[in-house]
Homo-oligomer: A and B are copies of this chain.
Amino acid sequence: MKMSKMFFTTMKETPSDAEITSHILMMRAGLIKKTASGIYNYMPLGLKTIKKIENIVREEMNRAGGQEILCSAIIPSELIEESGRWSLYGDEMFRLKDRHSRDFCLGPTHEEVFTDIIRNEIKTYKQLPINIYQIQTKYRDERRPRFGIMRAREFVMKDAYSFDRDFEGQDSSFQNMYDAYNKIFERCGLEFKAVEADSGAIGGVGSVEFMVKSEVGEDAVVFCSNCDYGANLEKAQAIVQEHIGEDKKIIEKIHTPAIRSIEELCDFFSCDGAKFAKTLIYKADDKTVAVILRGDREANEIKIKNAIGTVIDFDMADEETVKAVTGAPVGFAGPVGIKTDILLIDQEIANGFNFITGANEEDYHIANVNYPEDFDGVVGDFRNVEEGEACPVCGSPITIARGIEVGHIFKLGTRYSEAMNCNFTDENGKINPMVMGCYGIGITRTIAAIIEQYNDEFGIKWPRQIAPFEIAVVPVMTKDEDQLKAAEKIYTQLMDLGYDVILDDRNERAGVKFKDIDLIGIPVRITIGKKLKEGKVELKLRTESESTDITLDELYPKIENLMKTL
């Protein structure tokens, strides 16, 4: 491609709504243009990058035995209703009606569609296992689209679905995809970690997220400092520390006039948050839920929701509800005598002693509250883990970092196949539901993640395999005929050798060209300047600040060697 002909505009200024590096650089390098909040158009350089990632994904998926199909983005409501997700999905799903007022959605994922295809086509165990995938545009009406294509409302996704005859088959399909995903993200040049995750709205029995470490990541990821353990914060298991040597004391009601918050209580009782059992009250659809946690802990709403079961609307209870279940104003809730439909007790509380709690009475708290003597409920892990706590695998201290989720693989079990009658006949003529897995990669988000890991103050530093062009050939003075001719010759020869090359034949100052080539992040730059008279050109890597002079004879072997290392 000749840059003088390329549809390509860069920006010097940082766009006002861009907060993170990848968003800023994608806008500045002209890779994307915004159409509406969370909706972007991909310009030639951006699309070339998408295609490169798509090809890596396609190659590895095919190698792993996946077969590519392409499904409709619009899905009739009847299909989504079969799995129950039509009502489970809230505002995040774009819904529309056709001219006959029939309901459709824009597919946020395609479990139902793939399940429908398979139940119609696959009848016997002989046709299993199967793994089919698509690379297709997905739609999610995010509450808060942001960070450019990192959290967009329309995005390109690879979604694959595996169908097996049993759970062992599912495990093997899952492992197969796990391995393929590792290869894909390695080929993308990413520093990433596969971590345990919650299955979320898709449902299922096990899931792993592929997280790219990044300060701007929207997810908190828990790592062990010693072993391989990693998990999304939503999922990371809290370990109960044993409390020994304390006796359970007698419950005691204390007058605490207008003392409501944990801070005020700490002051009043001269002790730290760990001594208190705080009571959080939620509304889960039409049920009330109280969760009892240590005063210094953070509730984990995913763990709480998973304990309740299927929940559509979930939120903190309003003042009125709090009064109704506690019989007291907000600030004095406690587990003893509370009247919620569900009472969840964090294991730390169940294993601890003599907590201070609200008395469910205005201006009163109770000391020396103990489980199960004073209250009863479901005991479990309902809190976020914290930096420095013990790893659930090896006990070493954990660390918490930010991550960008670029891939997510799920074991779905028979969640969809049972609901949708996706069955097969086995050797004995018995009809069984298939066991499914689903596997997603955010293609466009992966671009953003790569830029977050590959950039400097001058712009993007693409890994070669993702770069829209591998080599830029830049004549310093386009008006100098010798320089332009030499540049064109090198450009043509490199293309003939199979490289993806761009020729910056624009009639601009060398400084402007270099800045643009750096901004759009081309890994190798060959500059043709004054030294051409001595038969030399300049070779510069985007990752290095210095260039080296090189004779035209040495150029092609040097490039060939260089490319093996990039």
Are the C-beta atoms of B99 and A36 separated by less than 8 Å? no
Are the C-beta atoms of A69 and B98 separated by less than 8 Å? no
Q: Interface SS of chain A: helix, strand, loop or mixed?
A: mixed
Contact of A33 among B6, B7, B117 (CB under 8 A): B117
A154 contacts chain B at the CB level, 8 A cutoff = yes
Are the C-beta atoms of A35 and B94 separated by less than 8 Å? no
Are the C-beta atoms of A33 and B139 separated by less than 8 Å? no
**Chain B, residue nearest A71 (CB):** B41
A44 contacts chain B at the CB level, 8 A cutoff = yes
Are the C-beta atoms of B117 and A41 separated by less than 8 Å? yes
Instruction: Tell me the minimal C-beta distance from A111 to chain B in angstroms.
Output: 14
Q: Of A73-81, A262-270, A354-362, which binds chain B?
A: A73-81
Are the C-beta atoms of B99 and A132 separated by less than 8 Å? no
Inter-chain CA distance A141–B102, complex, in Å, is 12
* 18 new A-B contacts at CB < 8 Å, known A36-B76, A41-B69, A41-B72: A30-B121, A33-B121, A35-B72, A35-B75, A36-B72, A39-B76, A42-B70, A42-B71, A44-B132, A46-B69, A47-B70, A50-B70, A73-B137, A74-B94, A74-B153, A91-B99, A96-B106, A99-B141
Chain A 36-54, CB within 8 Å of chain B: the 1/0 string? 1001111110110010000
**Chain B, residue nearest A116 (CB):** B35
Chain B neighbourhood of A46, CB < 8 A: 69-70
**Chain B, residue nearest A7 (CB):** B67
**Chain B, residue nearest A99 (CB):** B91
Chain A 79-100, CB within 8 Å of chain B: the 1/0 string? 1000000000001101110110
Chain A 142-182, CB within 8 Å of chain B: the 1/0 string? 01000000000110000000000000000000000000000
A510 contacts chain B at the CB level, 8 A cutoff = no
Chain B neighbourhood of A132, CB < 8 A: 7, 44
Are the C-beta atoms of B68 and A44 separated by less than 8 Å? yes
**Chain B, residue nearest A42 (CB):** B70
Inter-chain CA distance A43–B41, complex, in Å, is 27
Q: Which of A497-539 contact B (CB under 8 A)?
A: none
Contact of A65 among B5, B43, B95, B117 (CB under 8 A): B5
Q: Beyond A96-B94, A130-B7, A141-B99, is A73–B72 a contact (Cβ under 8 Å)?
A: no
Q: Beyond A9-B121, A41-B72, A68-B44, is A96–B95 a contact (Cβ under 8 Å)?
A: yes
Are the C-beta atoms of A143 and B72 separated by less than 8 Å? no
